[in-house]
Structure 1
């Protein structure tokens, strides 16, 4: 339910027959704060107010629940969990401290036992092993295609770090840095909570400017690399020269064979393109199979939980 792209199912479950609820209040983002400040200026104010309401990207859902940006969904779900635990503790239903094993031993369909806030928080918090699993899976999904593309471009048509392979390397490094900055921002937002918009710690500024810089490098590598590929820049002689010879292009070793059908090129293509291409197809197939199995598993879990709720109502 929480991972769905469409909130229509959730809207149908909690709909009470009345009108749509008033939208929740959210802390304004950095750009919205700047936009609100710009409204106070004499010239920009009337222009911005005239343009309000014109959004080139309209949402397809008209309800209380809205889809969150893809890179903020993990943090949003974590904040939901923390708020749910706080409300559970404030409701007075939580008993005194108990062992964490009591949560696993309690039966959902049988006699329910209230658990302590500490046990609930421990069961819903990622431990070191969970974080290691998430880190390893994320790095694999990110670096596997980048590594295959880098190996192919590094070894063909001439072994060495050149324009194309350097683009893949810069993109992979920028994405790893961006993931670290996002994780850092998530920890800061969890730490400051509702005071995140008002507080201005040094770490917040460093994280924001780091995301801007690394994001610019990543966009330049992705969009710029695509444009250079479409324009044929990578096929030029200059881009085939290894990076070690960029400052001494007159060196005899920087000579590039203009023909694309040399025996060395064909041999390198047969050795690297076939291996990396087959590996890429295998990785994509495995990931798709796991995703298919995971969504089937989630549906089964949902049906089992729904059956438990129905059996409790009958009893």
Structure 2
């Protein structure tokens, strides 16, 4: 009995002490505050139960009012005291947490210059958001920071960059809009109508071309880089033969010319042959009995290729002889073996080649200076991220700017190439030769055939670039023909008055390869160049261009995804997934371009009569076109559609506010929560760790790309000019000239009209 009583007293004493401890703990946890009432009272006193201003499905939702409703579900003001509602699940903090920032209201809070900020404490479940705040808030016209700033800083400059990207067709502008002679009082009303209509057509044309460039950026970049690599390899090949007599002046001139006009349709080959037909096509061979210092190499059709240098003197006296010097004195420098007429033709060709190159707009003028202005606007956006740290609006604008950085990269690649974008330069250089080839033919009949991927490639089946296309199923060729005719009716030629048609930007690399292959077919001594440039280094150049092209669109896309991904809540959402899907679509298009060009270059292997082989080939072709259409659709939807979504604020909704991993079970998953307060500690943390560094790296990357493009083009131009000056270069002593003129000169002179009609 005594033991039982002592035990009971001990338990009562322990319970009393434990109760007092709990009571003291409860005294430290307050549920109310009077200091916060002046801050919260204006926002919670007059709340609309329906936050939408008009139909929320059309953009009438008020997202700021939704945030106020969430705060109202968490807190209540009674008797001039702010209380936390009992049993609420929207607010995860305490009154003490709110009193740490006594002048801050959660909705619409701004960065105060310090990293001191509360954590994300106000949350709403997806089901509550869907029932109380459906739809999306459209961007107001008065809110210039959300639509005008990204429009001026990124989108409009990108439209200007697209004008530098070469194209084959454009929207027709009726000539009647600019006819009518002088403007008088009676024609002013008509003039007032014509100006807006012409401006509207031009604007629509630029927008359409911007959509095309943005949607197929990766094939354009890859093809342009591949052409730049081909140009560099051709120049290297000519430089390695500059001290030899293995190539004639005609072969050198025609090769250098092909670099400048290799972006034109291969049907322009005839005019290029006319351009160099007056240049001598002979080479200089070693005299019998002489002792070479280096081994003679056989090249071409058994033509010896000596390796010792010879330099012809251009002080040849025109009065002595107009015939080539056959046997120069041994032990002396060889005099010029060209006649006066030949020398004049060579000098005129040098002038024309240099003039064609100099007629092109320089890299700095066309794209270098605009890039500097684009980088300046980008730097300003990065500065705003620093000044408005934690603002999700600024973060998404920065992500959109890096997303649109892809278009300037396309323009940078297109402007570093040696081949000019304007075919009228070549038409002006070759017009005299075209007329002289057949002066009785009307100039209108010299218009070349307009063929490229939009036309039937049957006329160019001998060219390896069209082999894969010519094997397309009849249904695909018929569909492509119908689409081509429809497009041709709506869009006219970009250079309608020119007799020559440039290739689309995504065909530039393969088109230049066709010209190099044609040089090897036409001149036996240039077969080594074709083998070295196109055959031995084909895979290396192809995958090198693919790697650099991938880098140019992957870096801005990945940084854009990074910024959107780390905009709390962290995770893939609507914005980051749109940019990520765009990157995937460009990767698919790039791989499709590489596969098509690879198989068109190497042709098809195996027995085509085999039924299984034919079926597999047809299946692969259909699969190629299916993936192509799918990638084009995804690229267009994510680039243009995604930009429209960002500008109109469509992506600010309940569904896009939660990470993608909760989309399937968003109705039942307790973690499918949406935070509504602004400038929280998490936002400031991610802004300082990811948003600002990503913007800085984006600026640095684009600056480096612009500098490399400028340096690369200047280097190619300098090398090209040096080779132009050495077209008539002949190596030094102990060589006799053997004028072996190419038989195609007579064929061009005698059968030019037939070749034009056959083409």
TM-score by length of 2: 0.33
- SS of alignment partner, residue 675 of structure 2: coil
Going from structure 1 to structure 2, the CA distance change for 1:127 and 1:190 (only over 3 Å counts) comes to closer
Instruction: Find the aligned partners of 2:693 and 2:645 in 1 and give their Cα distance.
Output: 25
Instruction: Find the aligned partners of 1:289 and 1:171 in 2 and give their Cα distance.
Output: 26
1:62 and 2:497 correspond? yes
1:76 and 2:487 correspond? no
1:122 and 2:531 correspond? yes
Task: Give unpaired runs (5+ residues) of structure 2.
Answer: 1-259, 263-418, 436-442, 457-474, 605-613, 731-736, 738-759
Task: Return the structure number with greater helix share.
Answer: 1
Instruction: Find the aligned partners of 1:144 and 1:227 in 2 and give their Cα distance.
Output: 22
- SS of alignment partner, residue 421 of structure 2: coil
Deviates more, 1:26-35 or 1:62-71: 26-35
**Equivalence for 1:271:** 689
Going from structure 1 to structure 2, the CA distance change for 1:252 and 1:34 (only over 3 Å counts) comes to closer
- SS of alignment partner, residue 23 of structure 1: coil
2:630 alignment partner, one of 213, 225, 235:
213
Q: Which has the higher contact order (CA 8 A, sep 6+)?
A: 2
2:451 alignment partner, one of 26, 31, 39:
26
Q: Is the 8 A contact 1:162 1:239 kept in 2?
A: yes
Instruction: Find the aligned partners of 1:22 and 1:57 in 2 and give their Cα distance.
Output: 15
- SS of alignment partner, residue 158 of structure 1: coil
**Equivalence for 2:427:** 11
- SS of alignment partner, residue 679 of structure 2: coil
Q: CA deviation at 1:24?
A: 3.2
Instruction: Find the aligned partners of 2:562 and 2:487 in 1 and give their Cα distance.
Output: 49
Counterparts of 1:117-266 in structure 2, within 5 Å, are 117=527, 119-125=528-534, 126-191=537-602, 201-202=617-618, 203-250=620-667, 251-266=669-684
Q: CA deviation at 1:127?
A: 4.2
Q: CA deviation at 1:311?
A: 5.8
Q: CA deviation at 1:310?
A: 6.0
Task: Return the structure number with greater strand share.
Answer: 2
- SS of alignment partner, residue 253 of structure 1: coil
Going from structure 1 to structure 2, the CA distance change for 1:231 and 1:307 (only over 3 Å counts) comes to same
Q: CA deviation at 1:212?
A: 0.9
Q: Is the 8 A contact 1:161 1:242 kept in 2?
A: yes
**Once the two structures are superposed, what CA deviation does each residue of 1:25-84 show, in whole Å capped at 9, x if it has no partner?**
63625988448679xxxxxxxxx8xx9985444423523321211112122222222232
**Equivalence for 1:103:** none
**Once the two structures are superposed, what CA deviation does each residue of 1:72-120 show, in whole Å capped at 9, x if it has no partner?**
21222222222322233xxxxx3xxxxxxxxxxxxxxxxxxx46x3x33
- SS of alignment partner, residue 727 of structure 2: helix
Going from structure 1 to structure 2, the CA distance change for 1:62 and 1:310 (only over 3 Å counts) comes to farther
Instruction: Find the aligned partners of 2:598 and 2:544 in 1 and give their Cα distance.
Output: 18
**Once the two structures are superposed, what CA deviation does each residue of 1:278-297 show, in whole Å capped at 9, x if it has no partner?**
00000100011011112212
**Equivalence for 1:100:** none
Instruction: Find the aligned partners of 1:183 and 1:277 in 2 and give their Cα distance.
Output: 31
Instruction: Find the aligned partners of 1:128 and 1:26 in 2 and give their Cα distance.
Output: 27
Instruction: Find the aligned partners of 2:559 and 2:482 in 1 and give their Cα distance.
Output: 47
Deviates more, 1:13-22 or 1:67-76: 13-22
Going from structure 1 to structure 2, the CA distance change for 1:61 and 1:53 (only over 3 Å counts) comes to closer
Q: Is the 8 A contact 1:148 1:280 kept in 2?
A: yes
Q: CA deviation at 1:174?
A: 1.2
Instruction: Find the aligned partners of 2:520 and 2:649 in 1 and give their Cα distance.
Output: 56
Larger radius of gyration: 2
- SS of alignment partner, residue 239 of structure 1: coil
Task: Give unpaired runs (5+ residues) of structure 1.
Answer: 39-47, 89-93, 95-113, 194-198
| Alignment size in residue pairs | 271
Q: Is the 8 A contact 1:5 1:67 kept in 2?
A: yes
Going from structure 1 to structure 2, the CA distance change for 1:25 and 1:159 (only over 3 Å counts) comes to closer
Deviates more, 1:6-15 or 1:255-264: 6-15
Counterparts of 1:92-107 in structure 2, within 5 Å, are 94=524
Instruction: Find the aligned partners of 1:299 and 1:287 in 2 and give their Cα distance.
Output: 18
**Once the two structures are superposed, what CA deviation does each residue of 1:292-311 show, in whole Å capped at 9, x if it has no partner?**
11221222122112211366
